[in-house]
């Protein structure tokens, strides 16, 4: 049971430390060095800070909606009243724009996705399937056989001769 008393006295000693023992770390009053460091920090609401924050948020809005290049573009839109109301209520510029123009943004994203899908489909239009028609067009008819076809069937086109020859050769294999 001596160990319990040892733990209790150690805990009491830790809680009863004097400010002199801790080097003043437990005091609530800031030192002169702390206040001097705080005075040197730039004010978060300085003109430069606000301008940078607005520029940063406008660039985020521009990434979302490329038609918005300036604050005037937002204020001249149909949702300007709702946008300014959201900003007055504490929304950031980006969040206010996102909320007020949600339908427009979703529509533009879905249009972009649809166009990308169409472009993907159309980009493969030059490709054709491998089928009999492709094989018939690639079949080479020997010159003697070709002249026989022309003599016997003068009305057949070259494509028809190749198709008949390819079909005939398939059956003989």
Residue 6 resides in a domain: no
Nearest in space to 145 (alpha carbons), one of 129, 127, 125, 166: 166
Based on the fold, state whether residues 146 and 99 are members of the same structural domain.
Answer: no
Give domain status of residue 113, yes or no. no
pLDDT of 166 over the 70 cut = yes
- Average pLDDT score, the chain: 74
**pTM over the 0.75 mark:** no
| CA 65 to each of CA 70, 105, 111, 135, 141: distance values in angstroms, whole numbers, following the listed order | 11, 7, 13, 50, 60
Q: How far apart are CA 140 and CA 7, in angstroms?
A: 100
- Per-residue pLDDT, 100: 92
What per-residue confidence (pLDDT) applies to 128? 62
How far apart are the C-alpha atoms of 134 and 29, rounded to whole Å? 89
Give me the half-sphere count of Cα atoms (radius 13 Å) on the Cβ side of residue 105: 17
- Asked if 69 contacts 62 with a C-beta cutoff of 8 angstroms, the reply is yes
96 lies in the same domain as 57 = yes
The CA distance from 62 to 55, in Å, is: 10
Please give the average per-residue pLDDT across 133-147, as a whole number. 73
Is residue 65 one of the residues assigned to a domain? Answer: yes
**54-81: pLDDT as tens digits:** 889 999 988 888 888 888 988 898 989 9
Residue 2 binned pLDDT confidence (cut-offs 50, 70, 90): low
Q: How confident is the model at residue 95 (pLDDT cuts 50, 70, 90)?
A: very high
Report the pLDDT value the prediction gives residue 37, as an integer from 0 to 100.
45
Q: 153 pLDDT exceeds 50?
A: yes
One domain for residues 100 and 136 = no
pLDDT for the residue numbered 26: 45
Backbone angles phi, psi at 150, to 5 degrees: -65, -35
Which range of residues forms the domain containing residue 100? 47-104
Phi/psi of residue 163, nearest 5 degrees: -65, -45
In sequence order, what are the residues at sequence separation of 6 or more whose Cβ sits closer than 8 angstroms to the Cβ of residue 88? Answer: none
Considering the domain architecture, whether residues 98 and 143 belong to the same structural domain is answered as no
164: helix, strand or coil = helix
Q: How far is CA 154 from the centre of its chain?
A: 63
54 and 100 in a single domain? The answer is yes
Q: Is residue 83 part of a domain?
A: yes
pLDDT of res. 5: 52
Which of 56, 88, 104 is the last residue in one of the domains?
A: 104
Check residue 130 and give its pLDDT. Answer: 56
Domain presence at residue 138: yes
Does residue 36 lie within any of the structural domains? no
In a domain, 68, yes or no: yes
pLDDT in tens, 17-50: 444 444 444 444 555 555 444 444 445 567 888 8
- Model confidence at 114, in pLDDT bands (50, 70, 90)? confident
86: in domain: yes
pLDDT of residue 91: 93
**One domain for residues 100 and 51:** yes
Q: Are 83 and 96 in contact (CB under 8 A)?
A: yes
Higher-pLDDT residue of 15, 169: 169
Domains in the chain: how many in total? Answer: 2
Residue at a domain's end among 84, 104, 124: 104
């Amino acid at each position: 049971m001596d160990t319990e008393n040892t733990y209790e006295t150690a805990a009491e000693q830790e809680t009863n430390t004097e400010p002199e023992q801790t080097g003043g770390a437990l005091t609530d009053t800031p030192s002169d060095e702390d206040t001097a460091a705080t005075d040197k920090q730039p004010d978060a609401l300085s003109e430069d800070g606000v301008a940078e924050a607005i520029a940063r948020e406008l660039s985020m809005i521009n990434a979302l909606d490329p038609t918005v290049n300036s604050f005037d573009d937002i204020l001249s839109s149909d949702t300007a009243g709702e946008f300014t109301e959201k900003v007055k209520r504490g929304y950031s510029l980006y969040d206010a724009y996102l909320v007020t123009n949600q339908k427009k943004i979703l529509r533009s994203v879905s249009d972009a996705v649809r166009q990308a899908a169409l472009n993907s489909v159309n980009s493969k239009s030059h490709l054709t399937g491998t089928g009999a028609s492709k094989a018939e067009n690639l079949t080479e008819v020997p010159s003697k056989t070709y002249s026989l076809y022309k003599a016997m069937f003068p009305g057949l086109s070259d494509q028809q001769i190749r198709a008949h020859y390819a079909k005939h050769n398939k059956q003989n294999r």
